[in-house]
Amino acid sequence: MNSRKQALDKATTLIEALPWMSRFHGRTVVVKYGGNAMTDPELQDRFAENIVFLRYAGLRPVVVHGGGPQIKAHLERVGLESTFAGGLRVTTPETMDIVRMVLVGQVNRDIVGRINRHGPFAVGLSGEDARMMTAERKPAMVDGEPVDIGLVGEVTEVDAAVVDTLLDDGRIPVVSSVARSGEGVYNVNADTAAAALAAGLGASKLIMLTDIEGLYADYPACEELISRLSATELEHLLPDLSSGMVPKMEACLRAVRGGVPQAHVLDGRTPNSLLLEVFTNDGIGTMVVPDDAPHDVFGGPA
């Protein structure tokens, strides 16, 4: 009887996923991969399985990754201290060499390798490749004042042609968050890079995997999770958010203002959180939508 109930539960889960699979079949979904989910081997393997599942389910997944923990570890090994301002890493020319090496040569190859255990899908890229992302120097805002944080860029232009070509060929692009400028190579916050690429691709979803469950109403005084909010509501909340949350929520705002129907912040430490968001009725985390988004169960385009 137990096995019969388990089988029925699995069938119910599959049926529940059907309308979502129909809704998003052929749609592009940009997934920003970061945080501690990138350092736990079990979660790394589960993430790769989730991405391949999306591809087999008929979606067109694109992975944009950072590598904060790996960069920090490598900087410590060579005796360089990580410093931050306004939630962004201060990047000197010496630090930039390490950032580029770790993101493009280590983290990207690891993600590509894990995905490709399941088939010939993943192709590694960086924002430099085919001038996919062009950036300009960006200061951090600390207490309302601009602060120079070195070779850190803001994406100003996206040419998504190479990513579209790979998607049309059934591949899974895996993109490192570095970009070109007239001055050289910039470190680009992976949250903002993912948002810019999602808008440039006309993606149906941006999903941000992070180390918290989502956005709280009044953290730490209140731990009530905000499940959905509009772009304008988020804009009003931004000045009061913690420095670590600001780049993530600014990225969500940029995405929906750029035409992406939904942007989500999920806890990447939860196994299969990606699939729970895409294929279940309840969803998880916090979803940001345009001001005029319908309040139906799907919260997205028809």
Is 39 a residue whose pLDDT tops 90? no
Residue 110 to residues 39, 188, 205, Cα–Cα distance (Å): 11, 20, 24
Is 301 a residue whose pLDDT tops 50? no
Provide the pLDDT for residue 157.
Answer: 95
Q: Which residues contact 165 (CB under 8 A, 6 or more apart)?
A: none
Check: CB of residue 30 under 8 Å from CB of residue 203: yes
Provide the pLDDT for residue 300.
Answer: 40
What integer best gives the mean pLDDT of the chain? 87
Residue range 253-262: mean pLDDT, rounded: 96
- Cis check: omega of the bond before 41, within 30 degrees of 0: no
- Per residue in 197-221, pLDDT (tens digit) is 999 999 999 999 988 888 887 655 5
- Per residue in 160-195, pLDDT (tens digit) is 999 999 999 999 999 999 999 888 899 998 999 999
Helix then strand then coil, in percent of the chain rounded to 5, is: 45, 25, 30
To the nearest 10°, report the CA torsion of 49, 287, 19, 268.
Answer: 10
Provide the pLDDT for residue 222.
Answer: 55
Angle between helices 68-77 and 93-100 (to 10 degrees): 120
pLDDT band (50, 70, 90) for residue 34? confident
Distance CA 227, CA 289 (A): 11
Query: What percent of the chain is modeled with pLDDT above 90?
Result: 51
One-letter amino acid for residue 41 of the chain: P
Residue 109 to residues 79, 105, 106, 120, 191, Cα–Cα distance (Å): 24, 6, 5, 14, 19
Is 11 a residue whose pLDDT tops 90? no
pLDDT band (50, 70, 90) for residue 232? very high
Distance CA 297, CA 179 (A): 37
Check: CB of residue 98 under 8 Å from CB of residue 155: no
Is 259 a residue whose pLDDT tops 80? yes
> Which helix (H) or strand (E) is 98 found in, with range?
helix 93-100
Provide the pLDDT for residue 37.
Answer: 74
Structure letter (DSSP) for residue 240:
G
Distance CA 122, CA 112 (A): 5
Is 243 a residue whose pLDDT tops 80? no
